[in-house]
Structure 1
Amino acid sequence: MTEVRTLLDGRGLVESPRWHGDRLYFSDWSAGEVVAVDPATGAAEVVARVTSLPLCTAWLPDGRLVIVSSADGLLLRREPDGTLVTHADLGPAAWNDIVADGRGNVYVNAVGFDPMSGEVAGPGAVWLVADGTVRQVADDIAFPNGMAVTSDNSTLIVADSYGHSLVAFDIGADGTLANRRLWADLGEAAAPDGICVDAEGAVWYADVPNRHCVRVAEGGEILRTVDLDRGAFACALGGADGTTLFITAAEWRGMTDAEMVTPASGQVLATEVDVPGAGRP
């Protein structure tokens, strides 16, 4: 059996794990905090406070952190002194997940409905933030969730939670997306959330209702599954050799519940895998 160890416990709705430097960063949506944790000691530090739900992050190539403040319609940037400044004005939308490629292009997606009321405005979309502009580069994604960029910066992969699939796009030199294709059909029971890519080109995806993380090859072959006792919201590869799979998990109550997760059920977990991470996040 796969050994899964607990790095942190007692959190809220935890999401957006990102390995950077020698620490794991994650967001606690319930607390409005971006937290860094040392996996060797468990020591945790709040590096940013943003009242937003969702609250997702990405690292720019220059080492600065960008944070989606969905409630304000802003993409914030954390400066070296810890201050938060506006990186881009996204405008009003149900902004969700984010990833940056190695060129500094930032992709932010938005769902086409209000998760609390269930009111549907249309399918979700992906937007590009580059050179001071914000523009839509993909649409017609039922529920865009986690995103990842391959190590050669050539491909963006998007988890479509309601489409039960992973979709891929070629990334152009100017950051635009083309050649949309089905990367993997995961089956009607799957609900992919946060994702990451490994050095063999496989994708790990977290799945809340099915309480597991799954490694899948392009085309849909399941390569490995890590089962949990609660919903898996996102996963990221990191650690000293890149072979630690970090997972954010909590007991899911549903979007219509005011808390969405059972209070204090949020955990940051870790397990060892065979293939190191590659690409972003």
Structure 2
Amino acid sequence: MKNIMRKKETTMLDSTKIRIGLIGFLTLAAFDLVMAQKTQTKLIEEGLDFPEGPAFDQANNLWLVELKGGNLVRISDGKLERFATDGNPNGIAIDPNGLIWFCDAGQKSIRTYDPIIGVFETKATQVNDEELSMPNDLVFDSKGSLLFTCPGDSRKEPTGYVCALNKDGTVKKIADQMYFPNGLAFTNDGKSLIIAETYKHRLWKGEWDADKAEWREAKIWCEIGGPDGPGGPDGMAFDSNGNLYVAVYGTGQVRVVNTEGEVIDTLFMSGSNPTNCAFDPKNPKRLVITEAENGELVGVHLSTEEGKQFQI
């Protein structure tokens, strides 16, 4: 595998373009401050065909998907392996037994892959006797239920919904009438669920009842913003302090939201389309990010030093 962990300093635009674009709006000092805050990343892998859904297994192998390539991807000790799904995988969650669960937008299903025996299985294809609407992202709750988003074609009409697949195999909707529900994550205590509504550029937050698989008192929690064109908040991950890191597709940014729902910081990518992110459980200061425009997987090491949050 080429260019493993090659250090790569990235920014959204080169300094010449920024100087031209911002002249008249920023003083030179302000411009230099913007440039000083550019994010440094380490390239882990490149040449990926629309990467998404990074997740670490119990052995600290890093998994992700290639949505357009149709593959599950495992990176272990610097070696990349691909496992063809015959579908369009989009999002990964790994259970305590090491089973890889993923949304398959192409097959309109929730599927699993057992890396020990190399077998795929389909776990869910319907809700309320209707086929699932292009499942997108997924997460387990504290009781083992699997929550997943189904945006379908809900960019212009609020037809997207979110489901829970219970341990007994039943599937039910827990939210609906959304404009492209996408990434989702539980707060660290498992008591609240955050869902990204991509095409409204906002995050919803509600209480989660794991015993009854119910999302209660959901309300708009953060108007996180997005691009002028297609895109908005996508995949997300909480750090150990309760801050939420949200890949904002179309902006070239991962935005950091505090516990009050306020955007407090930003990481700048080299490409415009970050899709998702995950923290390394063995190194909680290491965040990995998938980026689709350049087909890259990158790592960022976060510092807790005041004023120097994002550094290699």
TM over 0.5: yes
> Do 2:109 and 2:135's aligned partners in 1 also have CA atoms closer than 8 Å?
no
Provide the rounded CA distance (Å) in 1 between the counterparts of 2:94 and 2:207. 21
1:239 deviation in Å? 5.1
TM score, norm. by length of structure 1? 0.83
- Other-structure match for 1:212: 253
> Do 2:149 and 2:161's aligned partners in 1 also have CA atoms closer than 8 Å?
yes
Provide the rounded CA distance (Å) in 1 between the counterparts of 2:199 and 2:44. 30
Determine helix, strand or coil for the equivalent of 1:242.
strand
Compare CA radii of gyration and give the structure with the larger one. Answer: 2
- Could you say which structure has the greater relative contact order, defined with CA pairs below 8 angstroms and 6 or more residues apart? 1
Provide the rounded CA distance (Å) in 1 between the counterparts of 2:280 and 2:64. 13
1:228 aligns with 2:269: yes
- Other-structure match for 2:221: 183
Q: Match of 1:214, as an amino acid? A: R
- Other-structure match for 1:270: 299
> Do 2:132 and 2:150's aligned partners in 1 also have CA atoms closer than 8 Å?
no
Bigger share in helix:
2
Flag the 1:49–1:102 CA change in 2: closer, same or farther, 3 A: farther
Provide the rounded CA distance (Å) in 2 between the counterparts of 1:34 and 1:175. 28
> Do 1:32 and 1:55's aligned partners in 2 also have CA atoms closer than 8 Å?
no
Which of 280, 283, 286 is the equivalent residue of 1:244?
Answer: 286
- Other-structure match for 2:22: none
Flag the 1:36–1:112 CA change in 2: closer, same or farther, 3 A: closer
Q: Match of 2:61, as an amino acid? A: R
- Other-structure match for 1:123: 159
1:247 deviation in Å? 0.6
> Do 1:183 and 1:218's aligned partners in 2 also have CA atoms closer than 8 Å?
no
Determine helix, strand or coil for the equivalent of 2:200.
coil
Provide the rounded CA distance (Å) in 2 between the counterparts of 1:138 and 1:127. 7
Percent identity, aligned pairs only, is: 25
Q: Match of 2:276, as an amino acid? A: A
Provide the rounded CA distance (Å) in 2 between the counterparts of 1:186 and 1:218. 13
CA RMSD between the two structures: 2.1
> Do 2:226 and 2:251's aligned partners in 1 also have CA atoms closer than 8 Å?
no
1:96 aligns with 2:112: no
Determine helix, strand or coil for the equivalent of 1:195.
strand
- Other-structure match for 2:212: 174
1:169 deviation in Å? 2.1
> Do 1:9 and 1:268's aligned partners in 2 also have CA atoms closer than 8 Å?
yes
- Other-structure match for 1:66: 101
TM score, norm. by length of structure 2? 0.76
Bigger share in strand:
1
Q: Match of 1:245, as an amino acid? A: L
Provide the rounded CA distance (Å) in 1 between the counterparts of 2:288 and 2:42. 10
- Other-structure match for 1:7: 44
> Do 1:8 and 1:42's aligned partners in 2 also have CA atoms closer than 8 Å?
no
Count of residue pairs brought into register by the alignment:
255
Provide the rounded CA distance (Å) in 2 between the counterparts of 1:13 and 1:146. 16
Deviation per CA, 1:107-162, whole angstroms, max 9, x where unpaired? 11111417xxx7x5643110110021011111122111111112322121111111
| Runs of 4+ residues over 6 Å off in structure 1 | none
Provide the rounded CA distance (Å) in 2 between the counterparts of 1:206 and 1:4. 15
1:208 deviation in Å? 2.0
> Do 1:197 and 1:204's aligned partners in 2 also have CA atoms closer than 8 Å?
yes
1:53 deviation in Å? 3.1
Determine helix, strand or coil for the equivalent of 2:54.
strand
> Do 2:65 and 2:89's aligned partners in 1 also have CA atoms closer than 8 Å?
no
Deviation per CA, 1:161-194, whole angstroms, max 9, x where unpaired? 1121111121112222111122212136581111
Larger mean Cα displacement after TM superposition, 152-161 or 54-63: 54-63
Provide the rounded CA distance (Å) in 1 between the counterparts of 2:67 and 2:238. 24
Structure 1 gaps, min length 5: 252-264, 276-281
Structure 2 gaps, min length 5: 1-37, 305-312
Provide the rounded CA distance (Å) in 2 between the counterparts of 1:72 and 1:98. 16
Determine helix, strand or coil for the equivalent of 2:106.
helix
> Do 1:234 and 1:248's aligned partners in 2 also have CA atoms closer than 8 Å?
yes
